Structure 1
Amino acid sequence: MKYRSIDECWRYLRGTRHRPVGFAIQNERKKLYSSALEQSEQFFRMSDKAGPETKPVLLYYGLNQAARALVAAATRPGRPFEVSGHGIKVSNLDDIDHLADLRVVDAPRKNDKSSFLTLARSISSPALRKDGATVGELWGTLPEACAVPLSMRPKYEVIRVGTVASGKKAGRYTGSLVIRGRLRELNVDEGLSYAQRLDLLYRIYPGLHSVQPRQAPGSTRFGGLISSKSGQYYTISDVVLPNGRIHTVDDLYRRGHRLYRDSKGRSTIVLPAVCGNTRALDPIIGWWSVLFALSMLARYRPGAWSSMLDVDTSADAVSIEHLMRQAHKSCVNLTAWHMRNCDLS
Structure 2
Amino acid sequence: MYMKKDPGEAWEQLRASRATPPGRAESGARRKTYAAALEQAEQMFRAAAVVTPATRPLQIFYGLSQAGRAIAAAAVDLKGEDWRLEGHGIKASGFDKPFPDIEIRTEAATSRGSFVRLSQLLASPLWGREPVRLEDAWDLLPVNLDYPLTTRNRHPALLVDERGIHEEPHPMVHAPVWDIPDWVIDAGSREGLASFFSNYPGLAEHHDCVRTGVDNRPDFTRYAQGGGGGLVVSWNMPTGSVPAEERRQYLRSLARNHGGAWFFVPAIAPMERPPHLLMAWWAVIYTLSMLARYDPAVWAGLIGVDGNRHAVPIEALLKRAIDFLPALIAATLEEVTS
Check conservation: 1:260, 1:269, Cα contact below 8 A. Answer: no
- Could you tell me how far 1:140 is from its partner in structure 2? 0.7
Q: Which residue of structure 2 lines up, in the alignment, with residue 254 of structure 1?
A: 253
Closer, same or farther in 2 for the Cα pair 1:18/1:250, shift >3 Å? closer
Q: What is the distance in 2 between the residues matched to 1:78 and 1:154?
A: 46
Structure 1: tracts of 5 or more residues without a match? 166-170, 215-222, 263-267
Q: Does 1:298 align with 2:297?
A: no
Q: Which TM-score applies when normalising by structure 2? A: 0.80
The correspondence of residues 50-89 of structure 1 with structure 2, limited to 5 A, is: 50-74=51-75, 75-78=77-80, 80-89=82-91
Q: Does 1:181 align with 2:180?
A: yes
| Bigger mean CA offset, 331-340 vs 120-129 | 120-129
Q: % of aligned pairs identical?
A: 28
The correspondence of residues 33-182 of structure 1 with structure 2, limited to 5 A, is: 33-74=34-75, 75-78=77-80, 80-93=82-95, 95-97=96-98, 99-108=99-108, 112-151=111-150, 153=152, 155-161=154-160, 180-182=179-181
- Could you tell me how far 1:270 is from its partner in structure 2? 1.6
Q: What is the distance in 1 between the residues matched to 2:208 and 2:216?
A: 8
Q: Which residue of structure 1 lines up, in the alignment, with residue 279 of structure 2?
A: 285
Q: What is the distance in 2 between the residues matched to 1:173 and 1:83?
A: 43
Q: Which residue of structure 2 lines up, in the alignment, with residue 226 of structure 1?
A: 218
Letter in 2 for 1:59: I
Determine helix, strand or coil for the equivalent of 2:208: coil
Q: What is the distance in 2 between the residues matched to 1:34 and 1:238?
A: 43
Structure 2: tracts of 5 or more residues without a match? 165-169, 210-214
| Bigger mean CA offset, 287-296 vs 10-19 | 10-19
Check conservation: 1:224, 1:237, Cα contact below 8 A. Answer: no
Closer, same or farther in 2 for the Cα pair 1:32/1:225, shift >3 Å? farther
Q: Which residue of structure 2 lines up, in the alignment, with residue 265 of structure 1?
A: none
Check conservation: 2:86, 2:113, Cα contact below 8 A. Answer: yes
Q: Which residue of structure 1 lines up, in the alignment, with residue 207 of structure 2?
A: 212
What is the number of equivalent residue pairs in this alignment? 318
Closer, same or farther in 2 for the Cα pair 1:96/1:26, shift >3 Å? same
Q: Does 1:339 align with 2:338?
A: no
Determine helix, strand or coil for the equivalent of 1:204: coil
Deviations 1:131-157 (A, max 9, x none): 131111111110012232224556311
Deviations 1:82-125 (A, max 9, x none): 111111111312x212x211111102386x21110101111222
Q: Which TM-score applies when normalising by structure 1? A: 0.79
Q: What is the distance in 2 between the residues matched to 1:298 and 1:322?
A: 16
Q: What is the distance in 2 between the residues matched to 1:174 and 1:4?
A: 26
Check conservation: 2:304, 2:311, Cα contact below 8 A. Answer: yes
Closer, same or farther in 2 for the Cα pair 1:258/1:286, shift >3 Å? closer
Check conservation: 1:161, 1:180, Cα contact below 8 A. Answer: no
CA-atom RMSD, angstroms? 3.5
Check conservation: 1:210, 1:252, Cα contact below 8 A. Answer: no
- Could you tell me how far 1:79 is from its partner in structure 2? 5.3
- Could you tell me how far 1:128 is from its partner in structure 2? 3.7
Letter in 1 for 2:57: P
Letter in 1 for 2:103: R
Q: What is the distance in 1 between the residues matched to 2:46 and 2:228?
A: 38
Q: What is the distance in 2 between the residues matched to 1:148 and 1:156?
A: 13
Check conservation: 1:274, 1:280, Cα contact below 8 A. Answer: yes
Determine helix, strand or coil for the equivalent of 2:332: helix
Q: What is the distance in 1 between the residues matched to 2:90 and 2:78?
A: 23
Check conservation: 1:159, 1:180, Cα contact below 8 A. Answer: yes
Q: Which residue of structure 1 lines up, in the alignment, with residue 212 of structure 2?
A: none
Q: Which residue of structure 2 lines up, in the alignment, with residue 9 of structure 1?
A: 10
Q: Which residue of structure 1 lines up, in the alignment, with residue 29 of structure 2?
A: 28
- Could you tell me how far 1:335 is from its partner in structure 2? 0.8
Q: What is the distance in 2 between the residues matched to 1:3 and 1:162?
A: 13
Q: What is the distance in 2 between the residues matched to 1:173 and 1:42?
A: 46
Closer, same or farther in 2 for the Cα pair 1:238/1:3, shift >3 Å? closer
Letter in 2 for 1:44: F
Check conservation: 2:172, 2:234, Cα contact below 8 A. Answer: no
Letter in 2 for 1:23: R
Deviations 1:183-241 (A, max 9, x none): 627988x9xx966x565334311121453339xxxxxxxx966387x994575888657
Letter in 1 for 2:263: I
Determine helix, strand or coil for the equivalent of 1:332: helix
Check conservation: 1:3, 1:259, Cα contact below 8 A. Answer: no
